[in-house]
Amino acid sequence: MRQVLALLVLLAAAAGPPAAARAATAVELELVLAVDGSSSVTSWEFDLQMRGLSAAFRDPEVQGAVRAAGDLGIAVTLVQWSGRDRQIKAVEWTLIYDGASAAEFAADLDAAPRYVTGGSTAIGNAIGFSQLLLESNGYQGKRRTIDVSGDGRTNQGVQTPELRDAAVAAGITINGLAILNEDPGVDAYYRDNVIGGSGAFLISATDYRDFARAIRMKLIREIGGPPLVQAPATRREQTAWRP
């Protein structure tokens, strides 16, 4: 636990000073999109992630989920991550409440460069960094969610379950998108070590070409509210769900 607390202090410094003191803006959901930029992700694969995300926020069903979530809208940011000391907020917090604001956020995603290139895989540190962004963003969400996508297992930094559990204890839900191109068992790793909290769930993409489909369905599900079931019990159940 001391290691986790020390890491959160360091990540707080890396994330920058808290938002100016003011009344927090109420929103339906605060959402951190945490995208893998580690050494296993080529430039082409990273581009597929970013284009998949921007296409999702232009999608009528995703925009419909935003409107259906409630009148307050949702606050969203994008984090790029890899090793234990390599996380960056790549797109600023944005309030999305209709199709036009969703399209503006999509344009910001398209314009964002790749800030994190290469490095190890420290999912726990990415979760800790994302938690601090949620706690210092000037918004007050009815729900708070970290959306972690990646194709590998933690091989550096604090063990993922420690910082996952710290985030869950703070009332945050962590959902996962496991990309199976390099490690067919990474979905089981995400299920056991990454996702957690109220209504947490996992969706798998067979490879980076499948990312756009997976992130679209994932956003519809997580923006619209807690799913009917929590994380699938078996890999067969995970891979069988292909809307």
Q: 3-state SS of 143-178? A: EEEEEEEECCCCCCCCCHHHHHHHHHHCCCEEEEEE
Mean pLDDT of the chain: 88
| Whether the predicted pLDDT of 19 surpasses 70 | no
Distances 223 to 48, 127, 160, 215 between C-alpha atoms, Å: 22, 19, 24, 12
Q: Which two tokens stand for residue 105?
A: 């956020």
pLDDT digits (tens, 9 = 90+) for 187-221: 999 999 999 999 999 999 999 999 999 999 999 99
DSSP sequence for 221-239: HHHH-S-SS-S-SSHHHHH
Q: What average pLDDT does range 79-87 have in this prediction?
A: 96
For residue range 33-78, list pLDDT tens digits in order: 999 999 999 999 999 999 999 999 999 999 999 999 999 999 999 9
- Taking the C-alpha atoms of residue 61 and residue 82, their distance in angstroms, rounded to an integer, is 31
pLDDT at 152 over 90: yes
* pLDDT(161) > 70: yes
Rounded-to-integer distance, Cα 236 and Cα 65, Å: 27
Tokens for 110, please give them.
């398209």
Banded model confidence at residue 229, pLDDT cuts 50, 70, 90: very low
Smallest Cα–Cα separation from 7: which of 190, 119, 138, 159? 159
92-118 per-position pLDDT tens digit: 999 999 999 999 999 999 999 999 999
Q: How far is CA 2 from the centre of its chain?
A: 25
Provide, rounded to the nearest whole percent, the portion of the chain with pLDDT above 70: 84
Q: Residue 226: which pLDDT band, with cuts at 50, 70 and 90?
A: low
The CATH T-level fold of domain 23-123+133-240 is Rossmann fold (3.40.50)
For residue 184 the two structure tokens come to 């067919």
pLDDT for 109 equals 98
pLDDT at residue 153, rounded to an integer: 97
What are the boundaries of each domain within the chain?
A: 23-123+133-240
* Helix ranges (DSSP H) in the chain: 2-15, 43-58, 60-69, 99-111, 123-134, 160-169, 186-193, 211-224, 235-240
> Rounded to whole angstroms, how far apart are CA atoms 36 and 144?
20
